[in-house]
Each structure stands twice: as C-alpha cells, then as structure tokens.
A and B are shown apart, each in its own frame.
Chain A
Amino acid sequence: MKPFLTIDPTLTRPALLLRLALIGLILGGVAALFAWRAGWFTPHTLTQKTVIDTFEKVDGVFPGFRRNHAKGVCFRGYFESNGNAAALSRAGVFSPGRIPVLGRFSLGGGLPYVTDAPSTVRALAVQFQLPNGEEWRTAMINLPVFPVQNVQQFAEQLVAFAPDPATGKPDPAKIQAFVAAHPATARALPLIQQRPISSGFADSPYYGLNAFTFLGTDGKPTPVRWTMIPEQPFQPSPAADPATLDKNYLFDNLIAAVRTAPQRWRLILTIGQPGDPTDDATITWPDDRQKIDAGTLVVEQIESEAVSPARDMNFDPTILPDGIAISDDPLLSARSAAYSVSFTRREGERKEPSAVTTAETGK
C-alpha cells in the first residue's frame, strides 16, 4: 500500500524542517490576519455587538424585542409625492404620485413595557415602497438635534445616562462629567430640553437628523436633511399628573386618532449650503436654508406588532433608493451596523406579546 504522503528523499532534515516551518508561517499568517480583521486581538474595541451589548446591560434583555425603541406600534399608509423634489433627486419616491408605506411609531429605549411619558423620545420609522421594487427606509425622532456626534459618544452616553441601580435614577454626577467632556452634547442638550413637547405621536414632528446626499438625474449632489412636520395642530402635552395617565396613553391616543381620520405629515427637505456640516447631527443648519415640501405621509391604519410586517423589519437608515446616498456622517454606518445586530438577535428569539395592540383602545 502506498504511504499517504511522500517526502522528496533529496531534502535534508534541516531543509525539511525549514520548509515545514514556512508552510506553518504562511497558513498561520493568513489565519492570524483573519482573526485580526475579526477583532479577536482587540476585544475592548467598540464593535456593533458591544454597542448592542451596552443596551442590554442598561435596559436588560427582552427577547424578541428591538434593543432600542422596543415599545412600539406599526402602521400602513401611503406617501403622496408632489414632484417638488424630483429636480434634486432622481429617486422614484419623488416623482409625482402615491406609493405605499409601512412604518412604526415607538419610544426610545430598550424597555418594551415602559410607561409612556411626555419627555421620552418618540420615533417614526418609515419604509417607502418604490414602484420599481426599490426601498427607502428612515427612522426619525422628535428631537431637533442628536445629543452625540458618533457611536463612541453614543455608547458612553448610554452608560452615563443609565439609571443607577441603587436609586433608579440617572446619576447627575455621571451626566455632568459626560456633558463636560463633550462640548457638542453640551450645545445640543439645551435645544433638546427646550423643545416644545406635543400632546402625542400625531402632533409631533420627526427629524431625520443625519444629513444625506440627494443625487439628481445629472448626478449633481445636494446635501439634504429631512423632517416630517405634522398637519395635526400642535397641542401641548397634558398638564395632568403623569401618574394619572394610562401606561400606554401616547399609543392609545394615536390609535384613536388614526381611527377617527388618517394622520398626515409633510415631508420637508432642508437644503444644505456649501460649508454646512453634513457629518454632525448635533448641529442644525441655519434657519434661512431653503426648505422644500416634497409631499405628504399619510398614516391610514395602525397595526399591532404581532400582525404587522414592520415588526420584523430593520429600519436601517442606509437602505436607500438610487438618488439618495449617505453623507459623511459617521453615525449612519454605525446605526446600520448596530441595527443589524439588534435585528439578528431578536429575529432568532421567541416573540413575546407587545405592550400595545390595536384591540386595547376598543375596550
């Protein structure tokens, strides 16, 4: 029987060992390069997984739910474009006409059963379904600026603003230290705290915050930010003691409002000028920048998470049609990466019932 391997008999023993070592070095080198790219040699670097781990550390793990914006309810409706933005972007979403949308209203934070409170961050996520099969997904919040510039600051902020397990409240000293170390946050916080807080989801504006690049048919790039401005008139947040309000009062009021009439938002584009920062969501652009009303988002029907395809949808802000591209804002790629981890984790988990269903307002 032939031996499994044969060795060239003319090789001397040292030559043989040297050649074996060379093979080991090549294979080991490639494997080490792979391990290095995987981040196995740098376990303390912030990765997409450690960002989501931080959410789980702060809020706990609620299987089946989003790690952030865990409490929410879904909707169906349409977007009616007026064609005003078609000159700036070749994306089909801006051609005049109506396209279907799917989306989700939610509260910031990783607690799916949290009690609704006026100052909690409200969010609107939308999936625009373009006629040619392309999609535009966006996730917006009701803050006029973002409190941090990048994902490193975001992760630090999560920890600094987390409730102290002893008191159940954030530690003011930790918050102060974070704000002192981050001048961008110090600038943004007053704008966030002084924002007018509306009565509910329906009369809230939702800001895209990150800048994007619109590309025209000629390829011309234009820096753009977008905001959903409610057509529902602003009502101040109820003065009643929050303790007397229902645990889900924000969602219940939204469900009731949509049952009465479709709720509408205007998609307002703000056009950046040369020199306007596109990489910093903590800064607004000057008030005199041109604004374009691109069309109307109409929310026709609220759907419980259990029956809506929007529950199992990742509202990754980098899912864009041709004609809209990401800017140099580092938050966009980081959001995309972190959302994918949250999505992958929750899709593999058993789904628990959501706090909000459309049935509960009928009671």
Chain B
Amino acid sequence: MTSKPRTQFAIQSRLLHWLMAVMILAMLFIGIAMVSSLADYHWLVAIHRPLGIAILILAIIRLINRKLTKLPPFPPTMSPAERRIASASEKLLYALMIALPLIGWGMLSAGHYPIVMFGAVHLPPILPAHPELFAILRAAHTVLAYLLFATILAHVGAVLFHTLIVRDRILDRMALWPVRRPKVADPAAKSLE
C-alpha cells in the first residue's frame, strides 16, 4: 500500500492545535468576563475583537491543512462508536471555531458598530445594520460560545480518560515533540484481543 501510517499529526497541525487551544480558551474566558464586567469591559472587548479574527484566520488555515495532510489513525483502543463520536466532536469544534468569529463579526455589523481591530485598522461590515438581526446573532454568539466551552471540556475529558485510564498514550499523537510509539508495550490494545 502507501507509506506506513503516521503516529503523530503533522508538525504544523500540532503547532496549530496547541496555539489555538491557548487562544480559544483565553477567548472564552475573556468573553465570559467581558459580559459582566464594568471596569475591565473596555480592554477585554478591545482584545476580544482582534483575537476573534485571528482565531478565524487560523481556523481556516487549519481546516485547509487538515484536508491536505494525512491524519494518524485512531488508537486501536477506540471502539467504532467512540470513533464516530470523536469524529463528530472534531467536526463540531471546527464548525464552532469558524462560526463564532463570523457571528461576532456579523453581529457587530448588524449592530452598526465599527469593527475596530487596532489603531485605525478596522474591518468592513459583512451584514447590513438591522436590530432584530443583531439581537439574534448576539444571542447565538452566547449560546454557541457555551456549546464550544462544553465541547472543549468533553474533548479534554475524553483525552484525560484515555491518558489516565485507558493508558493508550493517545496524547502522543498531538505531542509537540516527536514520539516514536513502542508498538509492543500496549497492554490496553492487547486486552482487546
């Protein structure tokens, strides 16, 4: 057949994963703090806007990269049902990474706000100013942000379960350093036989 399967994601995929993990978690915490704060509101929003657009750009790059690179196979410890759930949750994460910044951008457009990045740099509106549209997108932004947070928690929970309880070294696939998997010493894989 072709070359032997990868044990890890491509290096640029791993870098994108961890960079975006930090950015998105920061973004979720900035977002939730922002909507209740008074004194910190201004600087939090000032970071939230350009950080969101940076996430959008990186998410698009990441989506293209995913289509172009070969993925490592799921570990043998994962059942077909779990693989289906894992694939679906990855699709959901990608969809939210792209949808949330777009909705934020559209929401500011519909709210007749200037979309300020930094200094004099700003983005054009992508939707016409419209009150009901603003209200719908504003609500959607909140609901989908909670969904993203919940999906990330589930993702982290699943990886922790595999790492600490299944002990199948699943994290090696995404480790920033190169890992050569010792094929033999995998008690969990053996137990499946």
Contacts and interface: CB of A to CB of B under 8 A. Distances in A.
Chain A's interface size range is: 35 or more
Interface stretch (B13-21, B55-63, B75-83, B95-103): B75-83
Contact of B36 (A26, A39, A151, A326): A39
A132 interface: yes
Contacts of B135: 344, 347-348
Given A326-B42, A337-B41, A2 B80 contact: yes
Interface in B29-75: 29, 32-33, 35-43, 45
A347 B166 contact: no
Interface stretch (B1-9, B112-120, B174-182): B112-120
A343 to B, nearest CB: 7
Nearest to A28: B153
A8 B188 contact: yes
A5 B161 contact: yes
Q: Which of A26, A313, A338, A344 has the largest count of B CB atoms less than 10 A from its CB?
A: A344
B111 A343 contact: yes
Interface string A332-349: 111011101001100110
A8 B165 contact: yes
Contacts of A2: 79-80, 192
B24 interface: no
Contacts of B33: 37-38
A32 to B, nearest CB: 11
Contacts of A168: none
A38 B129 contact: no
The B interface, classified by DSSP as helix, strand, loop or mixed, is helix
Given A2-B80, A34-B29, A47-B38, A23 B120 contact: no
Contacts of A135: 114
Contacts, number: 146
A2 B192 CA distance: 8
A314 B111 contact: yes
A43 to B, nearest CB: 10
A300 B183 CA distance: 79
A23 B39 contact: no
A62 to B, nearest CB: 15
B82 to A, nearest CB: 6
Contact of A312 (B112, B187, B188): B112
A3 B41 contact: no
Nearest to B189: A6
Contacts of A3: 79
A313 B165 contact: no
A49 B153 contact: no
A51 B38 contact: yes
Contact of B167 (A8, A31, A134): A8
Contacts of A332: 42
Interface stretch (A159-167, A204-212, A233-241, A317-325): A317-325
Interface in A1-43: 2-11, 16, 19-20, 22-23, 26-27, 30-31, 33-34, 37-39
Contacts of B119: 322
A26 B156 contact: yes
B122 interface: yes
A309 B187 contact: no
Q: Which of B36, B188, B192 has the largest count of A CB atoms less than 10 A from its CB?
A: B36
Nearest to B29: A37
Contact of B82 (A5, A11, A20, A330): A5
A301 interface: no
Contacts of A133: 114, 122, 124
Contact of A314 (B113, B164, B192): B113
B165 to A, nearest CB: 6
Nearest to A318: B42
A347 B39 contact: no
A48 interface: yes
A348 to B, nearest CB: 3
Contacts of A326: 42
A319 B114 CA distance: 8
Nearest to B186: A8
Contact of B165 (A7, A51, A312, A337): A7
Interface of B: 28-29, 32-33, 35-43, 45, 77, 79-82, 111-114, 116, 119-120, 122, 124, 129-132, 134-136, 138-139, 149, 153, 156-157, 160-161, 164-167, 187-188, 191-192
8 contacts: A6-B166, A37-B29, A38-B35, A314-B112, A334-B39, A336-B45, A347-B132, A348-B132
Given A340-B41, A344-B138, 10 more contacts: A9-B188, A11-B165, A16-B165, A23-B160, A33-B29, A34-B29, A48-B41, A134-B116, A333-B43, A336-B45
Which 4 A/B pairs are nearest by Cβ-Cβ distance?
A348-B135, A337-B41, A322-B120, A333-B42
